[in-house]
Structures are given as C-alpha cells and as structure tokens.
Amino acid sequence: MNEGLNEKHIFIVRCGEVALKGQNKPYFERMLVDRIRKRLKKIEQPGMAIETVRNEGLIFVRADKGYEKQQIISEISKVFGVASISPALEAEENMDAIGKVAVEYMMNLIEEKGIKTFKVDTKRADKNFPIKSPDISRQVGAMVLKGCKVLKVDVHNPDCELFVDVRRDVAYVFDKKISGFGGLPLGTNGKGMVLLSGGIDSPVAAWMMAKRGMLIDAVHFHSYPYTSERAQEKVEELAGLVAGYVGRFNMYVINLLPIQEQIVQNCPEEETTILVRRFMMRIAERVARETGSTMLITGENLGQVASQTAEALVVTDASVQMPVMRPLIAMDKVDIMEKAKEIGTYEKSIEPYEDCCTVFLPKHPTTKPKLEKILESESKLDVETLIDNAVNSKELIVIRP
C-alpha cells in the first residue's frame, strides 16, 4: 500500500441537489465546500489538520486520526447541501490493494459490530479500469472471505453491504451512507427575516428556508413587562439552536406593548390578534429592508389558529409588500413537531413561557376578517408613528450556536 494512504480519517461527502445544477454546479459545489470548511474550522485543533477538497462531483474530507470520526460526521451532516456521508478507506487502484483494504475494513467491522454476513457492491467510475464492476465485486468478495474467516456472503440480506468505488488512481471502500439533510448550501439564496416566536413552528420554518440556502436574520416581539425576561432568554436559546445549523445571525428584539395597548384601547376586541399580526409584519418588513433581507418568513400554517385561516392570511399579507415565505403552510402539526424533534428545537420550544401573542388575547378572535373593516379600525391608530417608534426601539442581539 502507498505510504500516506489511510493515515487519516477519510469521509466521502455526496452533494444532493447540488449535483443536479447544470451550469451552476461548480458554483454550488464551491459554496458547499466552503460551508463544510467553515463548519470544520470550528472544531479544528492546533497541529491536527482537516482538509476538504472537491473531486469529480464528490467532496472528500481528510482529518487527522486525532479527531473522533463521529464528531466530524456530526458536523458535516449539519451542513445544508450534504446528501450523505461515508467514512471510507482508500486503496491504490489495483485489485490486490483493493482486496487488502477491503479485508482491513471488514476486520474493523467484525470487531465493532460483530457482523457475520456481507455482500460487495461495486461502482466503476473509472471506465479505463480493466475489470468490470460485477467481477470486481466477486473478486473482492473472494478476498474478504479468505481474509475474514468468520464472514459469509449473503446477497439478499447481508449484515453489511460493502461498497467499492473505483475512481481514477484510487479506490474507496465503505459500508454505510449516513444521511445529511440535503438542501442547498447556505448563502446561495439570499437572506430572509424570520418572525421568531418561542413556539414550535417558527424555528422549524427558519430551518427549512435556511436548508434551501437562505441566510436568515430574525425579529422577535415581546410585551415586557407582561412577558418576562426569562421568556426572552428562552427565545434566545431557541435561536441559538437554529444557529447550530446556520451559524451566527442577528436577532432584533422589539417591545410590542405600546402598539398592543393602542389596539386594545381603540379597536374592536375580536380584531386584536389580526391587527397585532399586521403590525408585526410591517415592523419586520421595515427591519428587513434596513438590514438586507428581501423576504419575510413565518411559521404560519393554514387553519392552525384563528389568525391563520385563509381569510386571516389574506388580510395579514395585505399589510406588507415583501413576499412572505410560509414553509409550513401545508404541513400537519404532528409533522411539524416531528421535524422540530429531528432538528433538536422541540424540547426548548415546549418550555412553558408566555408569548406576546397571548397578552390581550381576545375571547372570540375573528376568523374571517375583512380587509375593509380592518383598515377602518387601523385608521383610528397612528400606524406610521407606531411602526417608526417600534423600529427605532429595536435591540440587536447577536445569536451564536
């Protein structure tokens, strides 16, 4: 075996949708490599290199053996755009070397997992390699049987499927593909302003847009002193969990109480929620404009609550010009909850703290608001000044993972 081969942990990283991008593919691949490097930089330790390179549609990460494999995998799998990851061993591109590495690989698996059966599956990306895939599989299988006496071949239901990927000058041997989230690399699709509450939905909405490559900022409304400082801390912690995927981002915190009081004093009670929501959207839009976001993102979901009926969403949308992204719009609550669990925000979201929306909650909120009537109610308010004051009072909190 070549000196230098397998001196490091090797990971094959597959790009999901990035691979489908025709002419823009190199751009997306570069962005993905960049994101992986940034992510791994955070765990890099002095004198222990981690290298990320792109080659023929795949990305290869090589890390010093001082790193825990699991740690590297866990970091890479959080990068949007990564479809799957395989820890691998590499071999020179000849049957003898491939066989030896396959035996070494299987010996490790026998030790780690006690596997008893296997089959070999080969992909020959290098069509100049003189042996065809099925024959490579057969020969490697024979060498593994010879080298690992406890193993048997089972082509139907093996404990381990051993993959051999023969590429130019080098072959890779691996057994599993650990799924990433797919999506597109962060920063390939603009920036959006998330209206982030402390609930289950909005962190998931933020995550889903980020997964499509959108950078995010957030705005959070509170009604201090009706809502507590602890409630805001909870939102910051929740935002920090989202930052675990997207990195550092800005969250603007705004007290909505002055607006809520004006609404309660001057407008019909049943319209409170929808009026508050229109103010939230307008303030978020203004902050978005000032800070370079071109869209708003909410966790709204058709029919979930009174303010999310079709009629209410129409009236909410009419308050702003920016497109409003609602990635959860057609999901069922159980599925949103599942997603929240999968991305790790659920437990934080269900901690019981008050939200500004529950302050001044009307007993019978209107579920079929009419825009003319809502505009009439708003004419009793000094809308522009209220928005100006709210925007000017915003407080910036930098959210970190």
Stretch that binds ligand ATP, among 19-27, 80-88, 140-148, 350-358 (CB under 6 A): 350-358
Smallest gap from Cβ 316 to ligand ATP, in A, equals 9
Beta carbon of residue 39, minimum distance to ligand ATP (angstroms, whole number): 26
Coil vs helix vs strand at 223: coil
Candidates 82-90, 105-113, 194-202, 251-259; binding stretch for Mg ion (CB under 5 A): 194-202
75 vs 355 by CB, closer to Mg ion: 355
Tokens of 249: 């981002």
Distance of CA 76 to the CA centre of its chain: 11
Collapsing DSSP states into helix, strand and coil, what is residue 183? coil
Burial of 54 (0-12, 13-18, 19+ CB in 10 A): middle
Q: Which stretch binds ligand ATP (CB under 6 A): 81-89, 96-104, 179-187, 352-360?
A: 352-360
Q: Which of residues 332-361 bind Mg ion (CB under 5 A)?
A: 355
Site string for ligand ATP, 274-313 (x = CB under 6 A): ------x-----------------xxx---xx-x------
Question: If binding is defined by CB under 5 A, does position 199 make contact with Mg ion?
Answer: yes
Calculate the dihedral angle through the C-alpha atoms of 265, 269, 274, 276, rounding to the nearest 10 degrees.
30
Residues in CB range of 381: below 8 A, 6 or more apart: 262, 263, 266, 267
Amino acid code (one letter) for 368: K
Among 52, 197, 227, 298, binds Mg ion (CB under 5 A): 197
Task: Report the nearest approach of ligand ATP to the CB of residue 308 (Å).
Answer: 6
**CA-CA distance, 220 to 250, in Å (whole number)?**
11
Interface residues for ligand ATP in 221-280 (CB under 6 A)? 221, 280
The per-type count for the chain, helices as H runs and strands as E runs, is 13, 15
Please say whether the beta carbons of 397 and 236 come within 8 A: yes
CB of 265 to ligand ATP, least distance (A): 21
Query: Which of Mg ion, ligand ATP, none interacts with 305 (beta carbon under 5 to 8 A by kind)?
Result: ligand ATP
Which of ligand ATP, Mg ion, none lies near 299, with the C-beta cut-off 5 to 8 A by kind? ligand ATP
Q: How many CA atoms lie within 13 A of 286 on its CB side?
A: 18
Q: Residue 304 touches which of ligand ATP, Mg ion, none (CB < 5 to 8 A by kind)? A: ligand ATP
Among 61, 79, 196, 210, binds ligand ATP (CB under 6 A): 196
Q: What is the DSSP string of 268-329?
A: -GGGHHHHHHHHHHHHHHHHHHHHT--EEE----TTSSGGGSHHHHHHHHTT-SS-EE-TTT
Between CA 316 and CA 371 the distance in angstroms is 9
Closer to Mg ion by CB, 6 or 197: give it.
197
Least distance (Å) between residue 368 CB and Mg ion: 21
Rounded to whole angstroms, the Cα distance separating 235 from 194 reads: 13
- Site residues (vs ligand ATP, CB under 6 A): 195-197, 199-202, 219-221, 280, 298-300, 304-305, 307, 355-357
